[in-house]
Chains A and B, each alone.
Chain A
Amino acid sequence: MSAGTHVVALAGQPNTGKSTIFNALTGMYQEVGNWAGKTVEKRTGQASRQDGGYAVIDLPGTYSLDALSQEERIAADFIKNYSPDVTVVVASAVSPQRTLHYALDVIMLQKPMVLVMNMADIARGNSQHLDVENISQKTGVPVLLLSASRKQELGQLKQAIAQALKVPPVPKHIVPELASGLPEGLKRSFTALVQQVCDVSGFTRMRSEILVWKAMEGGEEERDILRSTVGEDAAWVQNDLLVQPYVQQARYGWLEEALGTGSTAPASSKTVSYDRWLLHPFAGALAMAGILLLSIIVGFGLGFPLALKIGQTSQALEAIASAGIPQDMIVTKALFTGTWRGVGAVLSMLPFIMVFYAVFAVLEDIGYMARAAFIMDRAMTRIGLNGKVFIPLLFSMPCNITGIMGCRTIDDQRMRKLAVLLVPLVPCAAKLIVLVSLASWLFPPLQALAVVFSLISLNMLILGGCSLVFGRFIPRQSSISGLLMELPHYHRPNIRTISRQVFRNTLAFLKKASTLIVSFSVIVWFVSYYPGGSIETSLMGQLGKYLTPLGAPMGADWRLITSLLASCISKEAVLATMGVIYNTPIGALPATLKATVSPLSAIAFMCAQSLFIPCIATLGMMYNETGSCRTLAVVISYTILLPFIVATAVFQIGSMVAATY
């Protein structure tokens, strides 16, 4: 953003269609990064030249600007201190009262703003009527009623922004009106305190009024100022139980006046009638299982053949490309093969990830994801989590990296920490492919199905157990816990929003995963090739042989142990490594494995594999998101110990059972 460029900030609550407006204003010119030093996503973009070429900053979507969370602090600080030329506040015409509650926070900052009442089409469908003129008159800023999902309606917003950049519309000072909604006694105390602040500090009346009001609302900064200016006389302000309910009522009272009657949603909206079934204790759970199963079928059905094709092509090309490298140039060969296979691994994961992203983006966009969280809340509470954690865990299935990134959406710090620790226990697509391939090679179809099903169930049980254990070590921060989330109104999927979401997520995955996977796969390839030029004589093979005594209790020989070790670059490498170790082409591997590995060893191995350390890229991402070496150390140590213990238990118990019969 060059100096002199106008800056437009976009602010508003979640589920108001803020992202759709951001996309529409900025088109293709977008950048995604983080707010300095925070793991909160920062999206910036630029309007096209004919629209004015201003920079657009998308502030985090939060329910208020109270600075209770990291996101809120960022948004409030930005508007207050950075002073964008215009702040566009996005509210929803469907739930105007609640979403305008946020607008009041921005109005009180007294910075230039434009108010957008989005989702006008749904509101019209509900026969909700909004008196835009009246809202504009009460707030003192331009108010637009539109549907951002309809391209032609955005022209008026662009015009309004251009106009606001020329003549900045500063909101009205609404605190006196808000205060007139307080009960008599409180109103008198308010007026007296404002007068006192004026006298003592020399602030203008307006500034004093905002100061006292914000302090009554609970603003820590404002309370500090009051304490230092009028001291004990302002103590009553901090009596939250006495003051807050009235302050909130006054705010909503003011909004009711501004909105007029007829703005409220009807009792029986479409959402309510869909939810009667989709959130039904039985039908809803059944529907969710169906929807998720369908997404998995679609994900694997479309992703698997594509992944296979890419894998085969990259293998075939590797042989041709590496033919030119002389055998004795070990370092060059390691670099080449490592990079090639790393890139191949990333590419072959890509179709899976994109298909899953697309399916999940649709579910998210129409408003279903939050329902899934609601349905799962009960089960998740049993293992010490809550429904919100279900979504990142679900996102871990295509790829654990996505799951780790998804943990950002959990607002409870404690839950977020727990979720990051648990993500590796969700078997990712790559682990599942190995699991399914091995099972189908080594067992007849029905048995294979039973093996896969029971191993996944075992995995889920272990996840639950680990959650309870880890939960004991992470202290609770607040006494109130549990789910508190909005379930958005259902609406038709918006293809533009969805495709952009998929594109953005894929790009983020590629950026983050590729560098990590590629660089580490070079190293791992090197240790599995040097010295001697074959895996049997290599460092990794030696380590595998060295660990044989540890492998014995779980029925694994050095070859299986080495395959397991190789899986930490990328899970899909396991099968390729096995091909190398057993010295057979991939096509003959099933027969070779069947001849050399006992069914029980195979099950124990699959079990270990699906619990074993997440791939290096996931670990890197974990460090990125948490910045904590401790978390990383905990994850690495438990994902090494746990598979060993569980696989040993499976093998030993299995052997005992086999011996008795």
Chain B
Amino acid sequence: MCLTHLQELQKAVVTAVSGNQELLKRLASMGLCSGTTVRMLKARKKGPLLVECKGTYLALSYDIASRIRLEPAQAVL
């Protein structure tokens, strides 16, 4: 599953991030890398997404989010 498919308020664990090294490192330094649990806060069709990971709120473009693969975890709320 891809981050863009995560429903609002659901959690999942990142399994892989594809893209160039620069993006990988940038995301990791902002708290998002494989093994991280993310929670979707705002999901809009084709728009930017807001996720929470490691106590940080990250806004990601749809393009970047579509490069983040997940394995679904339990639903919250």
Contacts and interface: CB of A to CB of B under 8 A. Distances in A.
Nearest to B19: A480
B59 to A, nearest CB: 5
A481 B63 contact: yes
A101 B57 contact: no
Contacts, number: 140
A413 to B, nearest CB: 12
A275 B48 contact: no
Interface string A362-387: 00000000100110011001000011
B41 A275 contact: yes
Nearest to B67: A480
Contacts of A240: 21, 24
A377 B60 CA distance: 10
Interface string B9-23: 000000011111111
A64 B28 CA distance: 9
Interface string A1-44: 00000000000010000000000000000000000000000000
A386 B33 contact: no
Interface string B37-77: 00101101011101010111111111110010000000010
A190 B59 CA distance: 35
Contact of A98 (B34, B54, B76): B54
A248 interface: yes
A281 B59 contact: no
A134 interface: no
A275 B44 contact: no
A68 B20 CA distance: 12
B44 A487 contact: no
B20 A478 contact: yes
B29 A66 contact: yes
Contact of A95 (B25, B44, B56, B67): B56
A370 B56 CA distance: 13
A119 to B, nearest CB: 11
Contacts of B5: none
A279 B20 contact: no
Given A245-B33, A248-B34, A483-B48, A478 B57 contact: no
Contacts of A241: 18
A346 B38 CA distance: 50
Most chain B CB within 10 A, of A102, A218, A482, is at A482
A485 B25 contact: no
B61 A487 contact: no
Nearest to A386: B61
Contact of B31 (A101, A275, A370): A101
A244 interface: yes
Contact of A267 (B20, B39, B57, B62): B39
Q: Which of A217, A218, A387, A487 has the most CB of B within 10 A?
A: A487
Contact of A484 (B28, B34, B56, B59): B59
Nearest to A487: B57
A87 interface: no
Nearest to B44: A281
Contacts of A386: 61
Contacts of A480: 19-20, 22-23, 63-64, 67
Contacts of B34: 245, 248-249
Nearest to A217: B25
Contacts of B63: 480-482
A66 B25 contact: yes
A244 B67 contact: no
B30 interface: yes
Contact of A102 (B25, B29, B56, B62): B29
B7 interface: no
Interface string A467-496: 000000000001111111111110000000
A562 interface: no
A252 B19 CA distance: 20
A68 B52 CA distance: 24
Contacts of A387: 48, 59
B44 A484 contact: no
Given A95-B56, A377-B61, A378-B47, A244 B26 contact: no
Contact of B28 (A248, A374, A378): A248
Contacts of A487: 50, 57-59
A370 B35 CA distance: 27
Which 9 interchain pairs have the tightest Cβ spacing? A482-B61, A98-B31, A95-B55, A64-B29, A265-B55, A248-B33, A63-B29, A487-B57, A245-B34
16 contacts: A68-B26, A101-B28, A240-B24, A245-B16, A275-B57, A281-B44, A374-B48, A374-B50, A377-B48, A386-B61, A387-B59, A478-B20, A478-B23, A480-B67, A482-B64, A487-B58
Interface of A: 13, 63-64, 66, 68, 94-98, 101-102, 128, 217-218, 240-241, 244-245, 248-249, 251-252, 264-265, 267, 271-272, 275, 279, 281, 370, 373-374, 377-378, 381, 386-387, 478-489
Interface of B: 16-31, 33-36, 39, 41-42, 44, 46-48, 50, 52, 54-64, 67, 76
